[in-house]
Structure 1
Amino acid sequence: MEEQVRRTLDSGPGYLDLREGQVEAMPGYMEVLGRGGASFLGAVERCRGCGWELAWGTLQKEARFSPAEVLLLLLCAVGWTVLRNVASRCFFRPFALWCHLQPKDAAKVPESAWKLLFYTASWSYCAHLLFFKEYTFFWDPPSAFQGWASGMAVPLDIAIAYLLQGSFYAHSTYATLYMDAWRKDSVVMLVHHVVTLVLISFSYAFRYHNIGILVLFLHDINDIQLEFTKLNVYFKNRGGAYHRFNDVISDIGCVTFSFSWFWFRLYWFPLKVLYATCHSSLQAVPDIPFYFFFNILLFALTLMNVYWFLYIVMFVGKVLTGQMHEVNDVREYDIDEAEKAPLQPENGDLRHNSAHSGGKAFKNGIVKNKQL
């Protein structure tokens, strides 16, 4: 067995089934399209008579999600919202004032700092599960479906990850509407949060939690780099002075973010996750429930990853052509000077002069006609 592992590692990346002693080379894009597409179309052919009645029956028979679990998820989502408000008022906003950031940058710090803390913790926990526990889902994604059984017990460590992630995306759906800055892609971001929340909830209910941990691991690392880079962009001009160190760090962060986005979301995600869910899942469980539902949502997630990658390409193009001389968020709306209002510290909080906004609520420098 050890010799087989050594030969596999020497031969390059591959899927290794530690329990069966079988090695399957990691597929390429064409194999994902060929085998995965053939399996998907074959499932469509076999399921011509499927309909809503069968889907509803399968949902009732196979899904395992108790009312207590739903209530716990909702309570945790409320808890995230309260914790974010407390952290913003007591730590993030006072710290931004103490650092004398520019008003438009100081208003954006709480959102980025909050997301940076959460995604760092969540990604580290997923990495701990994948690389420091007995799970082999990263090295052998098809093994995520081996031994699957309806209503099987979810390991406590994975259940904790699901509770934290599911409740956070429930909170994030609300936060996108009422707390975060409104950007050009906010509608897509809202759809992303809903799709992710549905995937997390239903993958737990149908016991597809093994592949779900891999999906979360491959996505959260990019959010860490994004928020860290944005914070350095905000901090490079503070106290009336330019800070070269933060500017260099933001440039490095932009490069690593662009590379990791492609590697994790556009390279590993299709080859590891989509191949396993489209092809390997049917090999392990020929009549696996809600096969189309999950794969269609994963395809939608892939399309959104491609959509956001276009923004990255747009940014790189602007830098190479000299249209942009510093790192910035190309997703932000450009706000006319007439629509901007100065931030005034009021009781330790950052608020905009309402006389300039016509009574509308400002969120991170963006006029948003929203109410709680």
Structure 2
Amino acid sequence: MGLFESVKSINWELESSPVYQDFRVLPLFAVFFPTIRFLLDRFVFEKLANHLIYGKHRQDMGDDTTERKKKIRKFKESAWKCVYYLSAEILALSVTYNEPWFMNTKYFWVGPGDQTWPDQQTKLKLKFLYMFVAGFYTYSIFALIFWETRRSDFGVSMGHHIATLILIVLSYVCSFSRVGSVVLALHDASDVFLEVGKMSKYSGAESIASFSFILFVLSWIILRLIYYPFWILWSTSYEVVLELDKDKHPIEGPIYYYMFNTLLYCLLVLHIYWWVLMYRMLVKQIQDRGKLSEDVRSDSEGEEEHED
């Protein structure tokens, strides 16, 4: 039986209780991502960057110029992130779309049958999604330090990665995985537009970059500043209280509630912080008659470039 047949034969609908021991496979996912990125960097992104940025004239640009290396490196970083966010978004939607809680937040906390939060089991396909994303953010913490271009919001990005990883682990163990999967889907969608816009900017395709940035801003407002606080946070703050059996869970119920919601509201603060940066960039774009600056986050001055 081949690999494809083996994967296809797995019962992804199988349910079991989420436990810390499930994260024993996390190192495999954490190693998987840098391996795939290394291969894509060497055999796909490098050639794609040279072709789109310099085309037939790339030999005339000087192969060892600092500016060329910097632009190629940024393009490859955005290409990698685009591949990840797009694949993660497709995976999240495939896992959640047919579930009742995808459209009705009440079912985050009740069902199937007489299951109520936090005594809910998790399907294998949802566990796989969590290990996939947790592996990416584990890798991303190290990549931010040793691999990627250092930017002015390094501290904020590092805080985001660490908070996201903690949020993923705790939401999984505390049976918040249903709401967590929808949060993941909300976040990855807008990031796809951002990375497409950045690659277009590096390639000199200004019109595509501007259009992608507009889609990014619109998706950010709708998904992260409207749907996230007024539907997701409303459900995690209020709706869950209606379903919690306080007599059965007098201690761990409130602990899970306050711990998880604190992290979710911290994420909202980061959304607002980045929205301020995007708003400034949007104003600048209007003033420059549609011309987009290279990145909503500027490179830090005086920082050394990490070598590939």
Q: TM-score, normalised by structure 2?
A: 0.80
Structure 2 CA distance for partners of 1:254 and 1:126, relative to 1, 3 Å: same
Alignment of 1:207-218 (within 5 A): 207-218=175-186
Aligned-pair CA distance for 1:154: 1.3
How many equivalent pairs are there?
A: 268
Query: Which whole-Å deviations, capped at 9, do the CAs of 1:324-358 have from their partners, x for residues lacking one?
Result: 843421311365xxx7xxxxxxxxxxxxxxxxxxx
* Structure 1 equivalent of residue 282 of structure 2: 316
Query: Which whole-Å deviations, capped at 9, do the CAs of 1:87-136 have from their partners, x for residues lacking one?
Result: 212221233234453713212122111110111011112122333x2x12
Larger radius of gyration: 1
* Structure 2 equivalent of residue 276 of structure 1: 235
Alignment of 1:215-254 (within 5 A): 215-236=183-204, 246-254=205-213
Secondary structure (helix, strand or coil) at the match of 2:102 reads: coil
Structure having the larger proportion of residues in helix? 2
Query: Which whole-Å deviations, capped at 9, do the CAs of 1:167-213 have from their partners, x for residues lacking one?
Result: 11111111111111111212111111111111111111112111011
Structure 2: unaligned runs, 5 residues or longer: 1-16, 55-66, 247-252
- Distance of 1:120 and 1:72 partners within structure 2: 23
| Match of residue 328, structure 1, among 250, 275, 294 | 294
* Structure 2 equivalent of residue 307 of structure 1: 273
Pair 1:110 & 2:65 matched: no
Query: RMSD of the alignment, in Å?
Result: 2.3
State, as a whole percentage, how many aligned pairs show the same letter.
25
* Structure 1 equivalent of residue 95 of structure 2: 129
Amino acid of the residue matched to residue 139 of structure 2? H
- Distance of 2:86 and 2:167 partners within structure 1: 21
Aligned-pair CA distance for 1:305: 0.4
Structure 2 CA distance for partners of 1:109 and 1:320, relative to 1, 3 Å: closer
| Match of residue 163, structure 1, among 131, 153, 164 | 131
Structure 2 CA distance for partners of 1:72 and 1:290, relative to 1, 3 Å: same
Alignment of 1:259-298 (within 5 A): 259-287=218-246, 288=253, 289-298=255-264
- Distance of 1:99 and 1:302 partners within structure 2: 36
Structure 2 CA distance for partners of 1:84 and 1:170, relative to 1, 3 Å: same
Pair 1:93 & 2:43 matched: no
Contact persistence 1:179–1:363 (CA under 8 A): yes
Contact persistence 1:80–1:171 (CA under 8 A): yes
Contact persistence 1:64–1:151 (CA under 8 A): no
- Distance of 1:100 and 1:229 partners within structure 2: 14
